Structure 1
Amino acid sequence: MAKWGEGDPRWIVEERPDATNVNNWHWTEKNASPWSQERFRELFKDVPVKSDKALLKIKSVDICEGEACANNRKGKLIFFYEWNLTLNWEGELIDGSDRIHSGKIKVPNLSEENDMDDLDIQISLTDPDEEGEQLRQIMLKEGKNVVRQQLSKYVTSLKEEFSKGMILPKKNEIKPDQVKTLASGFNKKVSMAPVVSENKAVSVTIDTTTIKQIHKFQCTAEEFYNALTQHDMVTAFTRGNVKLNPIKGGKFELFGGNITGTFEELVPHKKIVKHWRYGQWPTGHYSLVTIEINQKSDYTEVQLTQTGVPTGQADVTKTNWDRYYWEAMKLTFGFGAPLAEDF
């Protein structure tokens, strides 16, 4: 690992022709929610359910609630998705009254934590009668398999289609004719037009916003403070190499160098203030993070205020605080508490 100021070869963007995400080492996240909703609509539009006794099909998506994203962390793709789906189905018996019956299919727990075979798939009937119940039973037997097949297609396309471009070829893997079209983890084209330097100072104004969060942890204020300032504890919840010097002016480097900054104020068990930077932000731009720690009778309340966050990065920054700091700390140290608030 390189010393402070020397630079680690993994982070030297000049050595990559596309000048982005060297060796895929940056922590990047790509929102897959809008893409997923559209994919569900495609997968469940007039899908036939084969049966010798009935003409059945899954008509459309009625309700689609949840979220999905793809993360590239140190060259490894990690997928998160959690959806509650309600689908419309309809059908008629081949030897029946020619009446078309309809109903709903609910999938309340589609996520990466559940195997496809274990999914809870509920099938209901809009207007119950004898014929309708026969159709519902066929859907229970045959329709569930079709739902699982289509959802398996969604997961496959999320991992193979949506994530294209998030893992970039390394410097020695790039062919000359690829340089102009390489995409970053957010699928933005990289312009490789020559840049002519005129040695003029350029002032860039960055539109910024403020993030505020309140979280409650089942631990003491001292335990929480230590979790953010003691090298062994920070290493434990970030699960990687850490550089940490918790004194005023001391530097820190987390998540493979993707998060860097300096400590500005440390009040033991009460307050941490630091200049904090996400590697995807414009060069040299830092936010100011203030973490206030308040010991209560049976829990610790933590208030985070982060000023100077680039507006376009606000949502991903909130998500990353939640996932890679707070949730990771709760899982690692048993600080679990379900209450959190953005304001």
Structure 2
Amino acid sequence: MAKWGQGDPRWIVEEREDGTNVNNWHWTERDATSWSKKKFHELLVGLVVENEAGRCEISELKQVEGEASCSSRKGKLIFFYEWNIKLGWKGTIKESDGKHKGLIEIPNLSEENEVDDTEVNVSKRKGDGDILKELMKTAGTARVREALGDYLKALKTEFTIGMILPTKPTQELTVKRKLSENALQASPPVALGVRIPTVALHMTELFDTAVEQLYRIFTMKDLVQKFSKSPAVVEAEKGGKFQMFHGNITGEYVELLTNKKIVMKWRCRNWPEEHYATVALDFLPTPGQTELQLDCKGVPVCKEENMKFCWQKQHFEEIKSLLQLTTLNG
């Protein structure tokens, strides 16, 4: 396949505001190389894996070689990507507090291979600390492949917005799953200044604790830091800001009804710039337990699975662990 800029000029039609490329009949090509490099940094740097033996984190994007592009013809999208990626990681052994560094190499991320089959090679500097290398080869490799999968989803959704134009003014963008009512809600410009498709989530979880106790876990800084295992900013009042997981989650409190409801503007760092979802938490008392109902509107389609993982693994399960390990004082 020809590299970007080397296609036959008789057939490639750059995007034009005057609508000359009617219904995308001509070949339209968009270079995704620069966008992809930024997306790899957003998705990979800062990834953490941890177990009882140690903790590892991808600390830097050392090298990204390759290219990516998306082409459309007769309303169909064709993707090309080929990448060689090198990452630096660092880790700490909990028992000895020993620190170690290593590399992760992804020699061939391309459309020829499934993400789950993509080669991920982990190495470590000489010396002890093989327990950290093993952690990165297992849990670390899984998280890297998950992030690569998120990149491909974003390439095929977020990056391609606007490439397939409607053939009629009333035609709407559709996705495989049911979108929220504000699926095409207006938001500040992203990429080419177009609207992004979003999805609504609904989750429920039961906690073996009283409503008052669970509400405090979401609104008190020291408790948020305990279940998130990271520094946090918590200004639990209307208009107050919050920040969690080393700045990967930020937002603002919109409404707080003590022991009943919390509504927040919510965004993840790797979402399109300035885009926020609306998260509502309803606290419902049941005999001996509290049912928490989560309703979230405005999640970018390509981030749906990440959002579910964030709430299920990083919130619900960690809060339950906190409740089991400690008795919270009133």
Structure showing the higher helix proportion among its residues: 1
- TM category (shorter chain) comes to 0.3 to 0.5
Bigger relative contact order, structure 1 or 2 (CA pairs below 8 A, ≥6 apart) = 1
| TM-score, normalising length: structure 1 | 0.44
| TM-score, normalising length: structure 2 | 0.46
